[in-house]
Chain A
C-alpha cells in the first residue's frame, strides 16, 4: 500500500465527540485553582532571611505569648475556621470540591509544598462520608499545605526527608497526626521536632 493511500485510510479515524463543555470547564477551573494556589503559596512564604530572624526570636516571643495566654485564660481554638485565615479555608474547600467532581471518591490528598503541587488519587472510590481535614505544616521556612481525609497517610518532603504523616479524626472532632516518632493533637498542640502544625476539619465541605 502506498504511503499516501495508507495515510488517507488512517485519517478516517474520526475524533470522538468532545466531553461536555461543563466537564471541560470544571477540569480547567480545577487546574486554574492549582495554578493560582502555586503563586499564592510562594507569595505567602517569608524570605529565608526573615525566617532565620524569627526563629532566633521564637523562644522569647513564644514565652511572652504563653504568659499572655495564661493571663487571659486563653485556650487553643478548636474551631477550624479560626485556625486558618478564612480565605485559605474557602479556597481549599473550593479546590477539593472541584477535584472531587473530577475524581469522585478517589481523592486521597492534595499536597502543596513550596511551589510544588501533588495530587494523590486512588484507583478505587472510597466509601462516602469522609471528612476532609486541612493541615499546614512548617519548619525553618519550608511550608506544606495539605488537604486529606481521616485514615490517609501523606508523605511530605520536609527538611530533606520524607515525613510520613497519618491523619486521624476522632468521633469527638479531635484531629490526631501520627508522625514517625510523634503524635500531635489539635486539642493539645505542640511543636514535635520543631514542626509547627495547624489543622482544621473542613466541616462545610459536603464529604468526598
Chain B
C-alpha cells in the first residue's frame, strides 16, 4: 500500500490492518498517535526525558498487545489506559530503585509551565490524572470514568477536590508571569 493511500485511511481502517499483522499500518498508526502519547506522558510526569521514556515503553507495549485490542473498546481509551499503566510502572520502578526525585523545581521550564506544573504537583496521582484528562484531553466525567473503570461520581468528586487544590496552589504561587492569564 502506498504512503498516499495510507494517509487517506481512517484510524479504524489502519487499526484493523494493524490488528491483522500489517507492520506498515502499525507504524502509520503509531506515527499518528505518538504526539497524543507523548503529551499525555509529559503532563503526567512533568519531565521531558521521563515523558520520552514512558512514550517509548508505551509504544513497545502497544506493539506487544495490539492484537488483543478489542474493537468494542475505543482505541484512544485503550491507549490512554496503557499510557497510565506505563506511567504507574515507571513511578513504581523509580521508587523501588530509590531514583524517585524529591520535590521538583522545574528550573528548566519557562515560568508559565513551571507555575502550572508546581500547581499540578499539589494533587494526588488520581486527581492529577483526572484533571489532565478533563482539561487537556477535553474528556467528560463519563469518558474519564470509562478510562479508569470507576463510577462517574468518583470522577466528579476527584474533579471537585482537584480544582480546590489547584486553585489554592496557583493562588499561593502568585500571579501568572507576563503573558499569562490574569
Contact = CB atoms under 8 A, between A and B. Distances in A.
Contacts of A35: 18, 23, 26, 63-64, 66
B38 A18 contact: yes
Contacts of A1: 167, 170-171
Contact of A15 (B39, B67, B135, B181): B39
Contact of A31 (B59, B99, B167, B180): B59
Interface residues of A, number: 36
Given A18-B35, A123-B99, A13 B43 contact: yes
Given A27-B59, A115-B67, A9 B38 contact: no
Q: Chain A contact residues: over half helix, strand or loop, or mixed?
A: helix
Interface string A117-130: 11100010000000
Nearest to A36: B23
Nearest to B99: A123
A39 to B, nearest CB: 4
Interface residues of B, number: 47
B170 A38 contact: no
Contacts of B167: 1, 6
B113 to A, nearest CB: 6
Interface of B: 18, 21, 23, 26-27, 30-31, 34-35, 38-39, 42-43, 48, 51-52, 55-56, 59-60, 62-64, 66-67, 93, 97, 99, 110, 112-113, 115-117, 119-120, 131, 135-136, 163, 166-167, 170-171, 176, 180-181
